Structure 1
Amino acid sequence: MEQPEQKKLLNRLRRTEGQIRGIQKMIEDEKECIDIITQLSAVRSSIDRAMGLIVAENLKYCLENPEQDPTDQAQKMQQAIHMIIKK
């Protein structure tokens, strides 16, 4: 993964980590269920976006640096596509 993409991903994960700490505090403070669920949904979306960035970067790498074996290349790309649509 290239430096700018890696930095963006790490920043996204740090924000997500902060959101999770905030959710823990909300639970400790006995905040409303709907507010906690809203924040959990935001964390899930953030993780989904992080996964998308990683898979997209992997696909880009596969296209720019093809394997010697076309079957191996196709398998790696199929695996990346499966990761995107898996949910």
Structure 2
Amino acid sequence: MRGILRMIEEGQNCKDVITQLSAVRSAVDRTIGVIVSENLLDCVANAEGDTNKMNAAIQEAMDLVVKSR
């Protein structure tokens, strides 16, 4: 992000700045996906076959993904 701010301060081409911002957004989205999926796997494993706990974990994971958008 500091690099992108520096690009803006230096008057870099708008297209280049947007390209870098898109790359950051994509990286953040992928990171969120990894964290949510790892957490979901953990929650389902710890649900010990309890369907209600599994459904709650899945719903919470989906809520996090939707909220991040």
Q: Above 0.5 in TM-score?
A: yes
Secondary structure of the residue aligned to 2:8 is: helix
Misfit runs of 4+, over 4 Å: none
RMSD: 1.9
Q: Which has the larger radius of gyration?
A: 2
TM superposition score normalised by structure 1: 0.66
Point out the more displaced range, 61-70 or 30-39. Answer: 61-70
The share of aligned pairs that are identical, in percent, is: 46
Paired residues of 2:47 and 2:53 also in contact (CA < 8 A): no
Task: State the number of aligned residues.
Answer: 67
TM-score by length of 2: 0.81
* Aligned partner of residue 20 in structure 2, secondary structure: helix
Alpha-carbon contact 2:36-2:64 (below 8 Å) kept: yes
Aligned residue in 1 for 2:42: 61
Q: What residue ranges of structure 2 are gaps of 5+ in the alignment?
A: none
